[in-house]
Chains A and B, each alone.
Chain A
Amino acid sequence: MANRPKAPTSMTPIVENAELADSGIEEDKSEAAPASNGDARAAAVDQGIQLHLGQKLKDTYADLIKQPVPDKFRQLLEDLERQEKKQ
């Protein structure tokens, strides 16, 4: 977690800030399932993986979408439009 820049005000004692920061830390909820039932655990892991993969797929794709578009595409469309007008 990134450290928040401190924005102290006279109304906000430092102690309270520290409490806020603590409350933001979540406990690790990763599979702590007892290994007693292998099938159930495998199914839970599988579901977790599917969820994770779905999000990873979206993130990966979003990363591609946000890449800057080379100027040549704007020029291409302008050229196409110009040709169209000449005809």
Chain B
Amino acid sequence: MTVPRPTPTASLRAEFMAAIPNLRAFAMSLCGNATRADDLVQETLVKAWAKLATFNEGTNLKAWLFTILRNIFFSEFRRRRREVEDADGILSGRLSVHPEQLGHMDFQDFRKALLTLPNDQREALILVGAEGFSYEEAAAISGCAVGTIKSRVNRARKRLTEALGVEGASDYGPDGSSVSVMGQSTQVRSQ
């Protein structure tokens, strides 16, 4: 016996479609690898479709899809981390430093800097600072307290500033081009 589900309507499919660019951007921001990001999005769509019965129509579909995606990402990350026995997290953090790129070269340095943040801080910063979710929505998506999200965002900002400002030149490539995101009015074209 299967539980009767609401029949997915064409408009629901359209809503899924409409969320895909954001889901891809979020996935790419989390994992830093275009192929893996699309795998994450695909898995999210399949899972969400199968769980449609648990979705409350009228609530925020995008937030729901984001929740599913980040849960897949974090459980996969934990699993991989165990498999690699990478207690320090050094390897996990570096695995995606030279990923398949998605997006314009102009933003490459900044994307790399984002990837140096701890996953939970990067997630919080993207949800609030880039995607525009409220602290409350971001907390619901991440399954944590609002205060936790706020502190993660603050720490992310601080670390990002330090990474780009102080260690940028040595960390993000021999050209030191990431320094250009600090506030100079002209971007250094080094690629």
A and B part of one assembly: yes
List which B54-101 residues lie within 8 A (CB) of chain A: none
Which chain B positions have C-beta within 8 A of A58? 129-130
Which chain A positions have C-beta within 8 A of B49? 77, 80, 84
For residue B188, CB closer than 8 A to chain A, the reply is no
Chain A: interface size category = 20 to 34
Chain B: interface size category = 35 or more
Which chain A positions have C-beta within 8 A of B8? 80-81, 84
How many A-B residue pairs have C-beta atoms within 8 angstroms? Tell me.
Answer: 97
B24, B25, B183: the one within 8 Å of A49 (CB):
B183
User: Residues of A at under 8 Å CB distance from B?
Assistant: 28, 30, 45-46, 48-50, 52-54, 56-61, 63-67, 69-70, 72-74, 76-78, 80-81, 84, 87
Closest A residue by C-beta to B41: A73
A28, A50, A56, A67: the one within 8 Å of B181 (CB):
A56
User: Would B165 and A49 count as touching, CB distance under 8 A?
Assistant: yes
Beyond contacts A52-B182, A53-B160, A64-B24: 13 other A-B pairs, Cβ-Cβ < 8 A, are: A30-B185, A49-B165, A53-B157, A53-B161, A60-B103, A60-B111, A60-B130, A63-B107, A65-B21, A69-B21, A76-B46, A77-B49, A80-B45
Against A, the Cβ 8 Å flags (1 = close, 0 = not) of B127-156 are 001110000000000000000000000000
Which chain A positions have C-beta within 8 A of B2? 87
User: Would B103 and A45 count as touching, CB distance under 8 A?
Assistant: no
The CA of A28 and the CA of B125, in the complex, are separated in Å by 31
Which chain A positions have C-beta within 8 A of B114? 57, 60
The CA of A86 and the CA of B157, in the complex, are separated in Å by 49
- Interface of chain B, main secondary structure: helix
Closest Cβ of chain B: how far from A73's Cβ, in Å? 5
Query: Assuming the A-B contacts A60-B111, A65-B21, are A54 and B41 also in contact, with contact meaning beta carbons closer than 8 angstroms in the complex?
Result: no
The CA of A81 and the CA of B15, in the complex, are separated in Å by 13
For residue B191, CB closer than 8 A to chain A, the reply is no
User: Would A57 and B129 count as touching, CB distance under 8 A?
Assistant: yes
Instruction: Name 19 interchain pairs, CB-CB below 8 A, sorted by A.
Output: A28-B185, A49-B161, A50-B157, A50-B161, A52-B183, A54-B129, A63-B107, A64-B24, A64-B25, A67-B103, A73-B45, A74-B17, A76-B42, A77-B45, A80-B8, A80-B45, A80-B46, A80-B49, A84-B5
